[in-house]
Amino acid sequence: MSNKKILVVGELNIDLILNNIQGFPEVGAEKVAENMDFTLGSSSAILASNIASLGISTSFSGLLGKDNFGEFILNQLQSKNVDTRFVQFSDQYKTGITVVMNYDQDRANVTYCGAMDVFNINQLPWEHIQEFDHLHFSNYFLQAAMRPSIVELFKKAKEAGLSTSLDLQVDPNDAWDFNYKDCLPYVDVFLPNENEIIKLSGKDTLEDAVEEIRKYSNILALKLGDKGGRVLTEAEDISIAPYLNNAYKDAIGAGDSFNAGFLKKYLEGASLKDCLEYANLTGSLSTTAAGGTGAFGQKDEIDIKIEQIRNKEL
């Protein structure tokens, strides 16, 4: 087991999730959703919450508005034993929110960025960086003030002796302006999904995209949804089938839960194959409850559910 500590850096927002929607939204028309959930959102916070639930000592650095949503997020993180010493509050900007409209296994999102738009590299707890073993950053494209400093962020973390990981997420502008050639050499574990790596590389197929990005990456951990996962280094190329379950609720946060599982095992010194297998299991577990964190309760409960998924009993 590892006692390593992770600092998660990134955006903080609420997810308002609508399910069983009677048709697609139309201007001038009203649609009815039969179910609604209100949960902790944001890629960064979901990962932090879930990796903490998996037993890794976790701290968070981000920015909230001084409002009810901000208080809710802070309480949610603290309830999962995430250290929130380095979460700051803005007097000027509101806490972000994403409205998630679910349609089968796909979804349409609308996000108000708020405070996440102005959070920047100078607000990280650099004076405490030596307390940590690993730095993770999520959702590059939704954090405008962090984007110009992304290479510096990872370079400084590596110079401080930390291992690092990155999950880009989707670019709402579909421009994919990310300097992967300069940044990825400072990223130990890069965690894109299939669509993201294709878009980022500018290639037409997954294989061409992988060949382009792996030139610059160290460990490339690919999330392939219902096709499982794949991890590549200069020397290895490992694919593992998904762990499907019969208790599917939604896929919100499944990718972040994959990340949590992969990074937990990575920090514990496991083989890349074991990291990938556990990531597939935690990604599958996430889909058994609404929202990104609902399936991650007490550690012993998580272990039981993961074994049920592994043995195809769930």
The per-residue pLDDT for range 31-43, each reduced to its tens digit, is 999 999 898 999 9
Give 106's pLDDT tier (boundaries 50, 70, 90): confident
Residue 142, pLDDT above cutoff 90: yes
CA dist 234 and 228 (Å) reads 21
Residue ranges of the alpha helices (H) in 37-177?
43-53, 68-79, 150-159
Question: What is the pLDDT at residue 248?
Answer: 87
Q: Are 176 and 200 in contact (CB under 8 A)?
A: yes
Query: Which residue has better confidence, 1 or 81?
Result: 81
Question: What is the pLDDT at residue 246?
Answer: 85
Q: Is residue 18 part of a domain?
A: no
Q: Is residue 16 part of a domain?
A: no
Q: Is residue 32 part of a domain?
A: no
Average pLDDT estimate for 78-92:
97
Question: What is the pLDDT at residue 314?
Answer: 65
Structure tokens at 132: 């940590």
Residue 173, pLDDT above cutoff 70: yes
CATH, residue 238: 3.40.1190.20
Residue 101, pLDDT above cutoff 70: yes
Q: What percent of the chain has pLDDT over 90?
A: 85
For residue 285, give the 3-state DSSP assignment.
helix
Residue 105, pLDDT above cutoff 80: no
Q: Is residue 108 part of a domain?
A: no
Average pLDDT estimate for 107-126:
94
Give 2's pLDDT tier (boundaries 50, 70, 90): low
Q: Answer yes or no: pTM beyond 0.85.
A: yes
For residue 255, give the 3-state DSSP assignment.
helix
Question: What is the pLDDT at residue 104?
Answer: 78
Q: Is residue 291 part of a domain?
A: yes
Please write down the HEC assignment for all residues of 31-72: CCEEEEEEEECCHHHHHHHHHHHCCCEEEEEEEEECCHHHHH
Q: Residue 144 is part of which domain span?
A: 5-10+43-94+117-310
Question: What is the pLDDT at residue 188?
Answer: 98
Residue 180, pLDDT above cutoff 70: yes
Write phi, then psi, for 129 (nearest 5 degrees).
-60, -30
Question: What is the pLDDT at residue 123?
Answer: 97
Give 291's pLDDT tier (boundaries 50, 70, 90): confident
Question: What is the pLDDT at residue 107?
Answer: 81
Write phi, then psi, for 235 (nearest 5 degrees).
-105, -20
CA dist 18 and 32 (Å) reads 9
Average pLDDT estimate for 162-177:
96
Q: Is residue 36 part of a domain?
A: no
Average pLDDT estimate for 192-212:
97
Q: Are 253 and 7 in contact (CB under 8 A)?
A: no
Q: Is residue 99 part of a domain?
A: no
Quote the number of domains for the chain: 1
Average pLDDT estimate for 216-229:
95
Q: Is residue 37 part of a domain?
A: no
